[in-house]
Amino acid sequence: MATGIGETLREARSRRKVDLNEVEAAIKIRVRYLQAIENEEWDALPGGAYTRGFIRTYANYLGLDGDRLADDYKRSAAPSDGERVPRRVEPVPTGARPSRSRLRGWPTIALVCAVLVAVVVGIALTGGGGGGGSSSSSSGGEAATQRRKQAKKKNAKATKPGVSMRLAATAEVWVCLLDAEGKPLVEGQILAEGEEAGPYRSRGFEMAFGNGNVAVYVDGKPAEIAASSSPVGYAVDGSGRLSELEEGERPSCE
């Protein structure tokens, strides 16, 4: 079905007197995808969410309304498979839903609270004596402080398992990011250049990008992401090891 999207983009490019190779160099989308968009050969493109991202990026580069043309594609040409329209969303708070690992931490918290109560009672009892008890009370207070610090460290480790993940877009990029439970953290969102998502924490992650214009930080350290103008996908396991996903293995957030 002809939508006029391809013709609009082709005419705008002709007015600017740029060829497809120049466009590819500027926005990092392969010439064959640009040609498919201009010819409205939608089956030759990676898919609905990716295609909308490509149309938006291409149109914005040519000075057109990228959001409007991407919406035109969604209404008239995208497959009616119930996919979601990419949207900007606030990052999902890491504490929004208690994970099973946090629930498992409650016995530890209860034990720590019991220890703290016992320490407070002990300090109160020893502090009621004469002058000779002040030194004992002081040393007991220091010991209690140390125990509280150690308990906080242990509790922090128990309630924050896994690895952290943060994304930073180096140019406009479509992102789908899932945690180890398969819950979307970035659900088919277009990140603008310089925009970030995260940090998130999970026992692992799966992610898909519309291109390679994104920096990935695992536990605060940059991961090796190949430069690509085509869709890519990766997985991160509980130890922070990153591996590439084949096309059929990547999440779609649909």
pLDDT digits (tens, 9 = 90+) for 106-127: 556 667 667 676 766 666 555 5
pLDDT band at 235 (very low <50, low <70, confident <90, very high): very high
What integer best gives the mean pLDDT of the chain? 78
Report the pLDDT value the prediction gives residue 98, as an integer from 0 to 100: 44
Report the pLDDT value the prediction gives residue 201, as an integer from 0 to 100: 94
Instruction: Give a three-class secondary structure readout of the chain.
Output: CCCCHHHHHHHHHHHHCCCHHHHHHHHCCCHHHHHHHHCCCHHHCCCHHHHHHHHHHHHHHCCCCHHHHHHHHHHHCCCCCCCCCCCCCCCCCCCCCCCHHHHHCHHHHHHHHHHHHHHHHHHHHHCCCCCCHHHHHHHHHHHHHHHHHHHHHHHHHHHCCCEEEEEEECCCEEEEEEECCCCEEEEEEEECCCCEEEEEEECCEEEEECCCCEEEEECCEECCCCCCCCCEEEEECCCCCEEECCHHHCCCCC
Report the pLDDT value the prediction gives residue 159, as an integer from 0 to 100: 52
- Residue 9 clears pLDDT 80, i.e. is over it: yes
pTM of full prediction above 0.85: no
pLDDT, tens only, 79-100: 654 444 444 434 444 444 444 4
